[in-house]
Every structure is written in structure tokens, then in C-alpha cells.
Amino acid sequence: MAAKTSGTEAAVIARHPAEMRDTQKVAALALLAATQFLLAVDGSIVNLALPSIGRGLHAGPEQLSWVVNAYLLTFGGFLLLGGRVADHLGRRRIYVVGLVVFAAASLAGALAQSGPWLAVARGVQGLGAALVSPAALALLLTLFNEGAQRNRALGVWAVLGGSGGAAGAILGGVLTDALGWQAVLLVNVPIGAAAVALAPRLLPASRPEPGRRRFDVIGAVTVTAGLSLLVYALLDANHAGFRSARTMLLGGVAVLLVAVFAVIEAGSRWPLVPPRILGDRSLRGANLVIMLTTGALFPMFFFVTLYTQDVLGYRPLQAGLAGLPLAVTIAGSATLAPRLLLRVGYKTLLVAGLAVVAGGLGWFAAIPPDGSFVGDLLRPSLVVGVGAGAAWVASMVAATNGVDPTQAGLASGLVTTAQQVGGALGIAALVAVATARTTSVLGSGEAGPLVALTEGFQAGLLGAALVAVAGAALAALLLSSADSRAHAVAARESRQAQAHA
């Protein structure tokens, strides 16, 4: 599936071959990975500031939920469109535009005088993130050749992306305590401005090939509406109920819109998502496995955070620090994963990684009401972290293997959309399971609130373990063993060629 690099992008790389191989590529990777870290931090940094935001803006629980959900809704809904726009209009250009939108919305949010004002700013922030994230990943894919070089780059990407959530929880507590809730948004402004200033110096420009500027507007509107409605239905399911008529109706309309989008694409001369890119079995399988991976891990973060605070009585900052070993382990595992990919291929590593994740989640599911940090949090965190880091890198390699450089933005949008939708679906479904178990225990009158909460979390974590098992099984069934082996062989050969160059 690999194809030659197009137009301006090829010219830039050819103009500075030494710098793009070494100095400039390393600097560009640092900028792109730092950007991904910023977006990952922003997904959790606001959570620990919510009580302070509520007091400062006199906002109730419903308004505070939209401070979180508005970001997730626009981020998840516009990712696919953001990736394709980057392919059409230039990845560096969209990366910069997205950063400007993200930083400006962060400033507007810090100046908010009411809950609705802040929610709107967070929604615009999510739109900026939906432009930045796929453009940044697409730039990484076009900067680094497929094989060992790209595997290492994706490992760095996974390290910073995977640790950003835990870092956000810690930073949220520190900044809110020291400077006030506005600081969790203001911190994005200077970082975003610095990235915008560095982008023209470090990142190659890329433009579409002549004759590729037409855009499937109807398809773009349909899929964005469908994905946004799907994400909203999943977020709202935590309140309305996963099996409620409202959730079923919203989900049904979302699925219908996505189906209409598929019909439009099949007959479009300039499709937003060319059918041939979804015709690749490994790509489809990899994105499905990514959905299941986040569908297992996102609920784990959710349940463990609530368990530490609502059952063990940790303060918000303590709860954030309790997640630090998991983040460090994910980072270490993701750093080692590119070397393992050379030996066993992405399919074997992905299956093994998800199996380890399932084991760690099963261990987590045994948490008691009087749990301890070392025995009930630290040890299963280390197991999950080892598997998660390996699975992240292997799934990213599988989902981008052989992608045409002209469609790097689209592939990146598909990957990130799979992550966000999988996480939202996993949280909605497993929170419903946990809530049902807690309600049942309380209704029986045989246990108090802390025991009931713990049993609910146990049920949710056990469900997450089963989702990880399903991910491992589907990876074994859907990913091509031949493609995985070929990728490993090519990666080893490219590393040897670089060593002798």
C-alpha cells in the first residue's frame, strides 16, 4: 500500500536530507510528541479543578458536566474531518490553525464568567484539538519512513500520549491549589504560542497533489454529525441510562447518519474516506482493536480514580499521585516496545500486551473496601502499565502500516476517532454495569455504601478485563500474520541499513 511521497512534501525532504534524517527530524518529533502530551494533559487537567470551578462560577453539577463533555464531544466528533482537512489543505497549516484555536479557546475559558461561557470555550478547545491531533500524527508518519525509524517515533508518541492523562491529574491539583482553577486553562496559552512559533522552523510544509482540492462537503457534514451525535449519546448515557429510550434513539440516529455517510462515499468522485482505505483488513482490524483497548483502559482510569477518593478517602492530589506509577510503567513499556516489534511483529506484541492488560484489570477487580496502595493499587497498576504501553505502540503501528502518505491525515483521524469513541463507549457501558451492581447491593440491605460502591467498581473493572480479552482475540483473528512478519523483517533490514550507512 505504500506510495511515493507527494509534491511539496517530497521536495522539502529532498532539499535537506541530512537535517531531515537527524537534527530536524528529532526536533520535529519532540515538538509533535509534546503537542500530543499537551492534548492528553488537557483531557484530564480540568477534572480536579471542577469543584473550584463550581464555586467560582456558581455552576451546578449539570453545567460542570458540560465543562468536561463539551471538549470530548467536539474532539471526538471532528477528528475524522480534521484528519482529512489536513490532507487536503496541508498538515502543518492545519496543525498551526488548530493550535491557535486551541490556545485562544483556553484563554477565553480562563476568562469565563459563567458555566455556559466556560462550556462553549471548552467546546471550541475540543475543535482545535481535533484539528491538531490528526495533523500532528500525520506529520510524524510522513517524516519517518515505515519500519524501525517510524516504530521508534511512534513509541515516543505513545510514551507522551499515554502519560499525559496521569500528568494532567497531578498538574490539575497542583495548579488549582496554588493559582486557582483558571491556571489549568491558562497554561495552554504560552505552550500553544511556542508551538505555533516553532512549527514553520521544524515541520515540513505539505500540500495536496494538483487536482485533489475538491472536498466532499456533504460527506463531511454527515460523518461529523453522526460521530458527534454518537459521542453525545455515549456521554449522555451515564445520566439517561445505557438502555434508555433516549440513548437508543440518539445512538440509532447516529448509526443511521454514519450509514448514510457510507452510501455517499461509495458514490462520491472525491470521497472524504476513500473506500479502498477501509478495504484493508489489517487497518479495519487494528482500528477495531484500538476501540476495544481504550474501551478497557478509559473505564479503568475512571473507576480507580473514584475508588481512591470515594472509598479510600484520598484527596484529589493524592488520587492523582496514585496514578503516577501506572503512567511511568506505560511510558517504560512503550519505550521498549519498538525493540520487541523488530523481534515478534506488531500482531504478536498486540495480542500479548492486551492479554497482560486483561490480567492486570482482573487483579484490579479484586479491590476491597479497605484496600491499601501497595497491595491493591500499585501492583495491578504495574501489570496493566506493562501491557498497555506495548499494546498502544503495536496498535498504532498496525493501524498505520502501509498507509499511502497522501492519506496520512485520514489514517491518523481514523486512529484517534477509534480511541475516543472506544473510550466513550467503554465508560458508558461499564459505568452502567457498575451502577447496576451498586444499586443492587444497596437495595439488598446487606452492605453499607462503601461496600456497595466497591462491588460496583469491581463489576466495572471485571467488565474492562473482558473487553481487553475481546481485543486480544480480535487482534489474533483480524490482523494479518504475514503483514506483521513482513513489517518486522523490513524494520530489521532498515535498522541494519541505517547502522551501516
The CATH number of residue 120's host domain is 1.20.1250.20
- Shared domain for 45 and 184, answered yes or no, is yes
Indicate the pTM of the whole model: 0.81
- Shared domain for 194 and 96, answered yes or no, is yes
Domain membership flag for residue 93:
yes
Domain membership flag for residue 197:
yes
Domain membership flag for residue 428:
yes
Domain membership flag for residue 357:
yes
- Shared domain for 445 and 414, answered yes or no, is yes
- Shared domain for 296 and 263, answered yes or no, is no
Sequence-ordered list of residues with C-beta below 8 angstroms from that of 374, at least 6 positions apart, any chain: none
- Shared domain for 334 and 399, answered yes or no, is yes
Per DSSP, the residues of 171-221 read: HHHHHHHHH-TTHHHHTHHHHHHHHHHHHHHHS----PPTT-----HHHHH
- Shared domain for 371 and 446, answered yes or no, is yes
- Shared domain for 229 and 353, answered yes or no, is no
Q: Interhelix angle for 217-240 vs 61-89, to 10°?
A: 160
Residue 2, pLDDT score: 37
Apex CA 297: angle with CA 239 and CA 416, to 5°?
Answer: 90
Give how far Cα 273 sits from Cα of 229, 268, 277, Å. Answer: 19, 10, 7
- Shared domain for 463 and 369, answered yes or no, is yes
Domain membership flag for residue 162:
yes
- Shared domain for 250 and 173, answered yes or no, is no
- Shared domain for 162 and 263, answered yes or no, is no
Contact 440/432 with Cβ under 8 angstroms?
no
Q: Which domain holds residue 244?
A: 216-271
- Shared domain for 80 and 159, answered yes or no, is yes
Residue 241, pLDDT score: 75
Domain end (from 232, 249, 271): 271
Helix, strand, coil fractions of the chain, as percent rounded to 5: 85, 0, 15
Give how far Cα 166 sits from Cα of 33, 274, 363, Å. Answer: 16, 36, 20
Apex CA 295: angle with CA 290 and CA 300, to 5°?
Answer: 125
Domain end (from 231, 246, 271): 271
pLDDT < 70: residue spans in the chain: 1-22, 61-62, 162, 206-215, 238, 277-280, 494-501
- Shared domain for 196 and 309, answered yes or no, is yes
- Number of domains the chain contains: 2
